[in-house]
């Protein structure tokens, strides 16, 4: 989950109507904050606090797996309202719409990891992505498997420690889901073709890519490849490419690059184009995201 957006003139565009704030504007609150550990090998870790309504409807192409540390964390997910309390585990599947808000006046604090589906694919050997019904689980296997990854942001993870924890988490997810996926594995699904297409996209972040190009590179017909990609990576090829461009833009912004330059460097048509995708993916405008990240470092 990422923070809810409000209209922000510095981002050169306003929030889409479908994600417009419905209640108190959180920008007037100085207590909201996000702390972020540097992304490492397909995993991003954050800890955050929000006082009131913190999230707009958005979706990203990673798993969002976390734990509420204090308060009640409420969110819409798959047509229902969920309430996360301390002690449980949140598991939001890639590309699933969700929002969020405090369930009480005290606000809520949480930790979350964002894991690329390819990381779990490497551990599960090409199985369909595991799906946790309802986005919340009390399964003790998940609680134990997330303990290392959801520890304090101030403590960096040793690379081997992270890899071991991700392996354990992948198999805990698979077990807790009962091997149920949101999209069952077809007998004809081609994991190698999906991998080839993913590699092709990583090499083409700075230019337009067509599905025909991906099909030719992978040796699949275009629609079979599109289905395979969704099965193994949880999102469409276009959204996957857009999210990798957003990753590049965020890294540039964190290094101090102006928003307009970060957008151009990441392959977006302009700053407005980047901002629209940023809001849809993270639920917050780029400048709002940067402000919340710096709140704890002032």
Sheet order of strands, 73-77 included: 53-58, 98-102, 73-77, 80-84
d(CA 129, CA 90): 16
The answer to whether residue 279 is domain-embedded is no
pLDDT greater than 60 at residue 236: yes
Q: Compute the mean pLDDT over every residue in the chain, rounded to the nearest whole number.
A: 83
Do 161 and 116 have their domain in common?
A: yes
Domain co-membership, 198 together with 128: no
Task: Tell me the pLDDT tens digit for each residue of 174-208.
Answer: 999 875 555 555 567 888 999 999 999 999 988 88
Q: Is pLDDT of 159 > 50?
A: yes
- pTM of the entire structure? 0.70
pLDDT band, residue 17 (cuts 50/70/90)? very low
Same domain, 41 and 163: yes
Q: Are residue 200 and residue 124 in the same domain, yes or no? A: no
50 and 152 part of one domain? yes
Which residue range is the domain that position 206 belongs to? 191-233
The reply to whether 267 falls in a domain is no
For residues 276 and 284, give the distance between their C-alpha atoms in angstroms, rounded to a whole number: 10
List pLDDT tens digits, range 244-257. Answer: 999 999 999 999 99
Question: What is the dihedral sign for C-alpha 7, 286, 120, 211?
Answer: positive
**282 pLDDT higher than 80:** yes
CATH number for the domain that contains residue 228:
1.10.10
Q: Answer yes or no: is 274 within a domain.
A: no
Q: Answer whether residue 147 shows pLDDT above 80.
A: yes
- The number of folded domains in the chain is 2
Q: What is the mean pLDDT of residues 42-65?
A: 88
The mean-pLDDT minimum among 91-95, 135-139, 226-230 falls in 226-230
The two tokens of residue 261 are 């330059």
């Amino acid at each position: 989950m990422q923070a809810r957006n409000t209209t922000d003139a510095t981002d050169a565009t306003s929030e889409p109507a479908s994600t417009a704030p419905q209640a108190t504007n959180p920008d007037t609150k100085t207590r909201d904050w996000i702390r972020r550990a540097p992304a490492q090998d397909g995993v991003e870790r954050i800890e955050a606090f929000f006082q009131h309504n913190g999230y707009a409807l958005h979706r990203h192409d990673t798993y969002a797996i976390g734990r509420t540390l204090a308060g009640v964390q409420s969110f819409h997910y798959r047509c229902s309202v969920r309430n996360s309390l301390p002690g449980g585990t949140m598991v939001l599947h890639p590309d699933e719409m969700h929002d969020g808000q405090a369930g009480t006046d005290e606000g809520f604090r949480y930790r979350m990891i964002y894991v690329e589906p390819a990381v779990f694919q490497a551990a599960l050997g090409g199985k369909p992505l595991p799906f946790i019904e309802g986005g919340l689980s009390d399964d003790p296997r998940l609680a134990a498997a997330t303990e290392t990854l959801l520890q304090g942001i101030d403590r960096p993870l040793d690379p081997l420690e992270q890899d071991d924890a991700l392996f354990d988490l992948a198999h805990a997810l698979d077990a807790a889901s009962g091997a149920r996926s949101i999209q069952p594995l077809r007998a004809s699904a081609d994991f190698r073709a999906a991998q080839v297409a993913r590699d092709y996209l990583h090499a083409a972040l700075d230019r337009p890519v067509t599905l025909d190009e991906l099909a030719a590179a992978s040796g699949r017909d275009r629609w079979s490849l599109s289905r395979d990609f969704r099965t193994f990576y949880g999102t469409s090829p276009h959204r996957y490419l857009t999210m990798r461009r957003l990753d590049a833009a965020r890294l540039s912004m964190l290094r101090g690059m102006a928003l307009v330059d970060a957008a151009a460097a990441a392959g977006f048509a302009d700053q407005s184009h980047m901002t629209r995708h940023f809001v849809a993916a993270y639920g917050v405008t780029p400048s709002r995201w940067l402000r919340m990240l710096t709140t704890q470092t002032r």
